[in-house]
Structure 1
Amino acid sequence: MKNQVQLITYVDRFGGGGLADLQALLTGPLAGVFGGVHLLPFFHTIDGADAGFDPIDHTRVDDRLGDWGDVKRLAQHVDVMADVIVNHMSSDSPQFQDFAARGSASPYDGLFLTMDAVFPQGATERDLLAIYRPRPGAPFTFVTLANGERRILWTTFTAKQVDIDVRHPQGRAYLLAILRQLADAGVTMVRCDAVGYAIKKPGDSCFMMAETFAFIDEFAGIARGLGLEVLVEVHSYYRKQIEIAQRVDWVYDFALPPLVLHALFFGTAAPLQAWARQRPANAITVLDTHDGIGIIDIGADASDRTARPGLVPPAELDQLVERIHANSGGQSREATGAAASNLDLYQVNCTFYDALGRDDGAYLIARAIQFFLPGVPQVYYVGLLAGENDMALLKASGVGRDINRHHYGMDEIALQLQRPVVQQLLQLIRLRNSHPAFGGQFSVGASAATVLDLRWTSPGASVQLVVDLAARSARITSQGSGGDTTWQLAGPASRAEASIVCG
């Protein structure tokens, strides 16, 4: 993966068309801005129960977006990352439809995980309570097959997303076929979606267990053999991310978004500094994604909150969530928790721009912090355009995360690219992509409790970000790349005044 800012986007929601339209954007108005693009699920179909994360056919491009030739052509211009939905597939898939019709006589009997496959002797109350759930209720769906057989399917997320047995020969063959198809199309990196839930074990949490790590090791080894780098996507206690990072190519820094908000809301650098000194360097840094803003990632470990505290005290974590709701005018509250379907207990659904009260200066400071921390930055398409909450889409779908999944047509993109905050964000991206110091050594400077000091140095070049969190102002000092330059990021709570000034 190039050490440059990456874009993460849905194909159909950024440009309003298919893969060819996205390529036109990345080679036209956004030429040279991104070192790579993560295409969120573009498989058949993209409009199921979970915006493509419930594929009917994971080895086929949705016809409305193009075909594998379009993916290969895009990969000739920019590095491409794609998802492998490891844990489940759609109940509308041909494999499940065959199983639903023929039951035990189906060749796919065993591919789909049932309760008795995990608990052949039956499950006790203790067994069921031990299972970690990201959403309310038990992870099971009761079905009656066409031949009259009754089964209890394991469905971690929704009834339309049926978990597969990744250890079954059919499960292994299914995942291998996906990896081979992606590699053949020029994809160079895969994101393992929902892999933390892939292994189930009686009496255990069925989430990020020792057996899960062993499976990740095995899967990553197969992917690397096909020339694919591996990114693991897991929301969990922050120490687990550090452990995962030691075994794969890349992990997400999901602790960063809430920590940046905490720093700006509370005017203190301490939790963010503490994380900066221990976080894995092989991280994809994000402020926003297609999901919500993670809370579990900086909280205490649910299994032992006393012995394993979080990065932020519980009371401040609660205040952080309430501040997001206040800054968004209550919109995030409408999209989060029991207020919206397809909910996740550990996320707040809101655009990052709205979480900051649409304060341009604070938003640019947040992006500067993201770009200065070690790892490779990834910018979500809505965040690239400093997008606002899409309440119309939320109302239409009733799905909380749709608040941050706006559909942008070409005309709207052209208009949004002219906004000062977006133009200034593009400046920051170009600085991060081009300055040689970002390939050097990183350090966190000693500073006051309200000041964050992040530095990069390499032979003949340096770049430094100093953020005064109390004043919500920042300064970037660059040396050795086209002379000495100082950028002032002014961040009063006024969009008219927020700016980047180069001096």
Structure 2
Amino acid sequence: MENKVQLITYVDRLGGNNIKGLNLLLKNQFKDLFGGVHMLPFYYPIDGEDAGFDPIDHKKIDERLGSWDDVKALSSSVDVMADLIVNHMSVKSPEFQDFVQNGDDSEYAELFLTFNKVFPTGATEKDLIEIYRPRPGYPFTRVKFNNGEERLIWTTFTTNQIDIDVYSQKGSAYLDNILIEFQKAGVNMIRLDAAGYAIKKAGTSSFMIEETFAFIDELTQKAKKMGISVLVEIHSFYKTQIEIAKKVDFVYDFALPVLVLDTLFNASAENLKNWLKVSPRNAITVLDTHDGIGIVDVASENGEKGLIDDSTLDAIVERMHENSGNTSRKATGAAASNLDLYQVNSTYFEALGRDERAYLAARAIQFFVPGIPQVYYVGLFAGENDMDLLAKTNVGRDINRHYYSQKEINDYVQTPFFAKFKKLLVFRNTHSSFGGEFILKESSNSGLNIRWENNIHWSEFYLDLKSVDLKITYSNLDTVDSLF
């Protein structure tokens, strides 16, 4: 994977495009801005209950978006990342419907994870309480089979997302066959979606347990033999993230988004600097994604201090809501479906109070900290909260999943703000210093000073947090230039 900015996007929400249209967009209006693209689920169907994360057929591209040949054409010009949804498939999948029809006589019976597989002698209250939950309630759904029998099936996320037994012969083959399709289409990086929940074991939290690491390692080795790198998506306590990073190719720096907000809101880089001293270097950095802004990644856990003091963190969350004019409150927690216990649903631009200067500073921080930056398509447009879409779907995360028209794209790329953002994107992609050494320079906590050095090439970032004055200087042959 190239050390260049990556775009994260739904194919159909960026100008109503298909994969061919996305390819053209990257070659024309977004030329030189991205070294790769993470296409969020493009499998059949893209409009299930969870925007493609509940595939009926993981190996089939939704025909409205194109074909595997289109993915192959895209991969010839940019790196392509795809989601491998390891934990579940749609309740409407032919495999699960066959299981419901035929029960244990189904050829797919072993593919699905039942309550009894994990708890063959039953579960105690303690067993159930220990299960780590991303959302309220227990991770089981009562399913009535055609013979009238009712059974509990694992559904970690929603009742439409049926958990698979990844260690069954059918489960292993299911994932292997998806990898083969990816390889043939030129996909060179995968994101393991919800991998932390893939292994369930009685008497444990069933989240990022020892067996989960073993599963991720096995799957990673398979992918590597196919020339595919692996990014693991885990929201967790920061020390857990550091340990996970030692065992995988890439992890997300999910602590960064709130740490940047803390830095800008409180005019102090103390917490961010402390994190940069220990943060994983094999990171994919983000400020926003198709999900909400994660809180658990910086919070305390079981009485152990987090990256940000809990009282300060509470104030940051409150400030985010206030900055959005309280629109984010309507999309977060119990206010909307698809509940996430650890996220605030809002665009990053809204979380910063639609302050273009602060937003550009936030992106500059992201581009200068260690890791490969990803920019979410709504973040590329400095998007506002989409209250119309939220009202239509009542899915909290849809507040940050706007459908951009081609006209909106055409109008935005002509704005003075985009001209500045574009300059920053191209600089991060082309300056040689970012292939060298990261240096966190000494400064007061009211300032942030970062330098990159690569032989004779260097770049330096300084942000005065009291005035939000941003200065970027860099080597250019024998001269020193400023970016803005």
Contact persistence 1:450–1:468 (CA under 8 A):
yes
Q: How does 1:226-245 map to 2 (within 5 A)?
A: 226-245=226-245
1:111 alignment counterpart? 111
Where 2:48 maps in the other structure, the secondary structure is: coil
Q: How does 1:127-166 map to 2 (within 5 A)?
A: 127-166=127-166
Where 2:174 maps in the other structure, the secondary structure is: helix
Where 1:369 maps in the other structure, the secondary structure is: helix
Once the two structures are TM-superposed, the CA of residue 481 in structure 1 deviates from its matched residue by: 4.8
2:23 alignment counterpart? 23
Q: Distance in 1 between matches of 2:262 and 2:375?
A: 20
Q: Distance in 2 between matches of 1:481 and 1:111?
A: 59
Q: Distance in 2 between matches of 1:230 and 1:138?
A: 29
Find the partner of 2:371 among 368, 375, 378: 375
Once the two structures are TM-superposed, the CA of residue 384 in structure 1 deviates from its matched residue by: 0.5
Find the partner of 1:403 among 399, 409, 425: 399
Contact persistence 1:267–1:450 (CA under 8 A):
yes
Opposite residue 447 of structure 2, the aligned amino acid is V
1:111-155 Cα deviation digits (max 9, x unpaired): 111111100010000000000001111111001111212110100
1:180 is the counterpart of 2:180: yes
2:479 alignment counterpart? 483
Closer, same or farther in 2 for the Cα pair 1:29/1:481, shift >3 Å?
Answer: farther
2:423 alignment counterpart? 427
Moved more, 449-458 or 291-300: 449-458
1:208 is the counterpart of 2:208: yes
1:351 is the counterpart of 2:378: no
Closer, same or farther in 2 for the Cα pair 1:268/1:388, shift >3 Å?
Answer: same
1:285 alignment counterpart? 285
1:229-270 Cα deviation digits (max 9, x unpaired): 000001001111111111111110000000000110111111
Once the two structures are TM-superposed, the CA of residue 76 in structure 1 deviates from its matched residue by: 1.0
1:385 alignment counterpart? 381
1:444-471 Cα deviation digits (max 9, x unpaired): 1111121111110122121111111122
Where 1:12 maps in the other structure, the secondary structure is: helix
Q: Distance in 2 between matches of 1:186 and 1:283?
A: 22
Opposite residue 36 of structure 1, the aligned amino acid is G
Once the two structures are TM-superposed, the CA of residue 65 in structure 1 deviates from its matched residue by: 0.4
Once the two structures are TM-superposed, the CA of residue 17 in structure 1 deviates from its matched residue by: 2.2
Number of residue pairs aligned between Structure 1 and Structure 2? 484
Opposite residue 431 of structure 2, the aligned amino acid is H
Opposite residue 131 of structure 1, the aligned amino acid is I
Q: How does 1:257-406 map to 2 (within 5 A)?
A: 257-301=257-301, 304-305=302-303, 308-406=304-402
Q: TM-score, normalised by structure 1?
A: 0.95
Opposite residue 344 of structure 1, the aligned amino acid is D
Q: Distance in 2 between matches of 1:133 and 1:395?
A: 27
Opposite residue 180 of structure 1, the aligned amino acid is I
Once the two structures are TM-superposed, the CA of residue 482 in structure 1 deviates from its matched residue by: 7.2
Q: How does 1:220-231 map to 2 (within 5 A)?
A: 220-231=220-231
Question: What's the Cα RMSD here?
Answer: 0.9
Opposite residue 341 of structure 1, the aligned amino acid is S
Q: Distance in 2 between matches of 1:300 and 1:218?
A: 31
Q: Distance in 1 between matches of 2:288 and 2:356?
A: 16
Contact persistence 1:436–1:481 (CA under 8 A):
no
1:465 is the counterpart of 2:480: no
Q: Distance in 2 between matches of 1:109 and 1:139?
A: 19
Q: TM-score, normalised by structure 2?
A: 0.99
Task: Give structure 1 regions of 4+ aligned residues with deviation exceeding 2 angstroms.
Answer: 480-483
Where 1:457 maps in the other structure, the secondary structure is: strand
Q: Distance in 2 between matches of 1:226 and 1:147?
A: 43
Once the two structures are TM-superposed, the CA of residue 480 in structure 1 deviates from its matched residue by: 3.3
Once the two structures are TM-superposed, the CA of residue 200 in structure 1 deviates from its matched residue by: 0.4
Q: Distance in 2 between matches of 1:481 and 1:157?
A: 53
2:193 alignment counterpart? 193
Q: Distance in 2 between matches of 1:106 and 1:276?
A: 52
Q: Distance in 2 between matches of 1:107 and 1:309?
A: 49
Where 2:314 maps in the other structure, the secondary structure is: helix
Gaps of 5+ in 2: none
Q: Distance in 2 between matches of 1:444 and 1:253?
A: 17
Q: Distance in 2 between matches of 1:250 and 1:78?
A: 19
1:173-222 Cα deviation digits (max 9, x unpaired): 00001111011111000000000000001011000111111111111011
